[in-house]
A and B are shown apart, each in its own frame.
Chain A
Amino acid sequence: MARQISLSQLMAMLLLSRLFAAIAAGPWKVVSGGEAVLSILAAAGMEGAVWILCCALAKRGDLYDQLARRSRLLAGLVAALYAAFFLVWAADTLATFTYLVKTEFYPQAGTLVFLVIMGAAILYSVMLGVEAVSRMSFLVVIIAGVALGAVYLSMADEVDMLNFVMPASLGPGQVLENTPLLFSRWSEAAAFLFLAPLAKGSWRKGVFWFWAICLVFYEVTTVYLTGVMGGYGALQNYPFLALLSMTELSVLRRLDAVYLMVWIFAAFLRTLVFLQAASMAASHLMQPRSRPRFRVISALLAALAAYFISDHLFVMMDWNHLVQTGLLFLCFLVVLPAVVLLLGKKEVPA
């Protein structure tokens, strides 16, 4: 398969995906303070192991081809499962984003208008290909980095260490109990499995920097959220947005509305990442000429599912509970890759 994008562009896409997951569905309303600092370390350690597993798997070649050398039926089943997994995450992204925007910025508006606008944009974007998405991701990551840096700099004076309690003061059990809440939405490694063949560059370096940047981001954000807002942050639906609403930059106040632009970019690109991963996963299950049609249909399905989830609060709550158990993460980022690693066969050079 032709390597169409650079590894830094791929990692930029995954970073934006993680950024959105952190801001929109972050754990800080449940886990804060010292527990969060340790839970993040534990979750990062677990994710590091998953990354090593996924990198080893991706290095052996295309996932489908590895399993197909053993059994085409098994390969098809795994590919279909992953395609469905990514479609579900695309729908989850849209639903979470819609719920966030509706509750925080446009309380009077209906859900449908956001999904129609976002869905139309995504429908157009899936046809442009992964190269365009990756190029845009790189630019957006830089904008997001500058924006976050500005927030942290302007709020540096407001951090009060008295808001912190000693880490693990509630015992290691609490830390371990909170850890799944963090990694339950970290699906980027699975997307990497299917997008890595498109990227040229050193995977090891790219994955390490991705992991390190995410860890630093989570820790710094935890320090700010806890240090600035203390217990008040834990009462908010979106603690980071609450932090932004308190940030002032010169004459601009209520920066949550300004940073809305960054979240929209991040949600937009995260959805496209998962749709692209779904397309790559399903590519072996259809004729090449059907792939553009699949992309369009998958975008429509994701939008429809997002509408259903975001418009029915109880469905959304049930879905969040399922995600927070970590079952999806364990299944698709640990069990299935391990199965492929054990059962799959490497390509024997001629």
Chain B
Amino acid sequence: MLDSLAKKWRRSARESYEDPAPPEGMTPLSASLEENIIAIRQAAANSGDLVIKRLVTAGTEVALLMTEGMFSLTAFALLLAQTLPNLKDCSGPEEVLEWVRRYSILGADQGEVRTREEVFRLMMSGFVLLLVDGCAVGINLGMQGFSFRGIGEPNSEVNERGSREGFVEPLRINLTMVRRRMKSPNLCFEFIQVGGKVKTDAALIYLSDMVSGRLLRQIRSRLSQVNMDVVLETGYLSPYLEQGPLSIFSGVGSTERPDTLCGKLSEGRVGIMLDGTPFVLVVPYLFTEHFQSFDDYAHRPYYASFIRLLKYISFLFTILLPGGYVAMANFHPELFPEVLLYNVARNELKTPFPLMMEAVIIFFIYEIMREAGLRLPRPVGHAVSIVGALVIGDAAVTAGIIGAPMVMIVALTAISSFVVPSLYEPVTVLRFAFILIGGMTGLFGITVGLAVVILNLCSLVSLGVSDTAGAAPFVPYSMRDIFIRAGWKTLEKKQLNVEDLPGEKLK
């Protein structure tokens, strides 16, 4: 009997646990503190980290609601714990509320809340909520004190010169990094929420005197169409901001560096920052910007121009070199110098696979090792490089699976692909595609494929701005910062704004 009763109790507890009443719509706060607390506890399904401290001050019952681990204990102790319980001059809940509103500073960021949804959202953002019995309004006190990763150099965008700061996960910290660099009253942060269920904070960042109103309206409209319940990374939002034909290239860029973002904002672009990720989206993003880095503007122009051209050449190498080699060796051997031709032929005689298969196999193995090296824990990560060197560099050639020239091609291609890391995804796909095309149709197929890729790139329009703007449609003054980097005395003569680029549809 006891067992069956216990089962019934567990079942009812499980059912009540599985079916908490979710907050629906915007439910206004009640004037009764008890009702509010009960409703909030129910909605939170009695979550273990919900902390509710009730106390009486100046004869009025109040409650402090907070999430464990999200608020600063020091600020709480200094600002609240010592002042609120000792309040004496107020009689009644309205006077208590008035005192908190106008005659005290209990938190750096103080505001009012009127709905339960806002209470939840602010509590889970690290605010401490003050509810007063008898008032249907609460006060949120900014006392955030949750732990987050320290500000350090971003791993994905390493530069020789420039700031060593990179964005971190909390949105507000990131906003301060931008604000410190751009002390302009025109710098605007427009807060929105994305994600139907999780309501993640996001911010549109722009310079109000530079940005195109039409661009902003388009971005707002597109983001309002995001129907996902959960948005954990800015990459989730990218497809909503892209337009134009299906393409492996994207008209939406991202950055982890505040200095880079500030540079983009000063050209009339919009940054989209999301709480919980250090990667900030930048729209619109031109194709040529993949080849620009912050270092270009810190170095001397001649060196920066050399590096810029090197990046373009590396990009072409990494997508065309393997396919071109396979095409030339199979269909156009007359293009090789004689000595090289004899070497290639000699090595190919030793291997069992056709050249195209060799290239596909070796690049497939390379991608496996690259992905493994990315995911492996650091202590064993160096084992991947040892295995890679042994497998590709030595064993495969000694075993006669691939030829030595192919190892050189793989090495050069792999190194070239990391010169422009932001294009790694399309480069990987294009590389395989061109290997297959070159192996089957020679230089003819590679050229037709390249023509289709270039045409596709030229057809991309990112929120009213062509992805190839500056180069095509050609603009002479844009050339100062596309294939070369002109000196600052030239660059400062005329500001480049995306809305002024020819062919754009932002005006």
Contact = CB atoms under 8 A, between A and B. Distances in A.
Q: Are these two chains actual partners, yes or no?
A: yes
Interface in B206-265: 245
Interface stretch (A211-219, A257-265, A327-335): A257-265
B205 to A, nearest CB: 30
Contacts of B456: 128, 132
A276 B502 CA distance: 22
A319 interface: no
Interface in B446-481: 446-452, 454-456, 458-459, 466, 468, 471-474
B472 A135 contact: yes
A78 to B, nearest CB: 31
A125 B444 contact: no
Contacts of B441: 113, 117
20 contacts: A6-B503, A8-B474, A9-B472, A106-B442, A121-B448, A121-B449, A125-B455, A131-B458, A131-B466, A132-B459, A136-B458, A138-B473, A139-B472, A253-B335, A254-B334, A257-B332, A257-B335, A264-B448, A265-B447, A268-B448
Interface string A98-126: 00010001100000011001100100110
Nearest to A245: B334
Contacts of B468: 135
A286 interface: no
The 6 residue pairs across chains A and B that have the minimum distance between CB atoms = A132-B459, A135-B472, A135-B458, A264-B447, A128-B459, A132-B458
Nearest to B441: A117
Contacts of A258: 335
Contact of B444 (A106, A139, A251): A106
Contacts of A133: 455, 458
B150 interface: no
A131 to B, nearest CB: 7
Given A264-B451, A268-B451, A136 B443 contact: no
Nearest to A108: B331
Contacts of A138: 472-474
B411 to A, nearest CB: 20
A252 interface: yes
B445 interface: yes
A106 B331 contact: yes
A129 interface: yes
Nearest to A6: B473
A114 B503 CA distance: 34
A253 B448 contact: no
A105 B444 contact: yes
Contact of A252 (B331, B335, B442, B454): B335
Contacts of A135: 458, 466, 468, 472-473, 503
Interface in B407-449: 441-449
B189 to A, nearest CB: 35
Interface in B488-507: 502-503
Given A261-B443, A264-B448, A136 B332 contact: no
A127 B466 CA distance: 17
Task: Name B's interface SS.
Answer: helix
B337 interface: yes
A169 to B, nearest CB: 38
Contacts of B447: 260-261, 264-265
Contacts of A261: 443, 446-447, 450
Chain A interface bracket (under 10, 10 to 19, 20 to 34, 35 or more):
35 or more
Given A121-B448, A261-B450, 10 more contacts: A9-B472, A118-B448, A121-B449, A125-B455, A127-B245, A128-B455, A131-B459, A135-B503, A136-B451, A265-B451
B188 to A, nearest CB: 32
A117 B473 contact: no
A195 to B, nearest CB: 16
Interface string B25-40: 0000000000000000
Nearest to B334: A254
B340 to A, nearest CB: 8
A98 to B, nearest CB: 10
Nearest to B327: A257
Contacts of B444: 101, 105-106, 114, 117, 260, 264
A253 B474 CA distance: 33
Nearest to A101: B444
Interface in B357-408: none
A62 to B, nearest CB: 23
A259 to B, nearest CB: 10
Contacts of B448: 117-118, 121, 264, 268
Nearest to A139: B472
Nearest to B448: A121
Given A6-B502, A8-B474, A135-B472, A260 B443 contact: yes
A317 to B, nearest CB: 24
Nearest to A118: B448
B439 to A, nearest CB: 14
Given A105-B444, A257-B332, A131 B474 contact: no
A238 to B, nearest CB: 16
Contacts of B503: 6, 131, 135
A268 B502 CA distance: 25
Contact of A128 (B245, B450, B472): B245
Contacts of A260: 443-444, 447
Contacts of B443: 105, 257, 260-261
Contacts of A128: 245, 455-456, 458-459
Interface string A66-83: 000000000000000000
**Highest count of chain B CB atoms <10 Å: which of A132, A251, A264:** A132
Contacts of B334: 253-254, 257
A265 B446 CA distance: 11
Interface string B296-337: 000000000000000000000000000000000001101101
Interface in A137-173: 138-139
A9 B473 contact: yes
A139 B335 contact: no
A117 B445 contact: yes
A149 to B, nearest CB: 17
A101 to B, nearest CB: 6
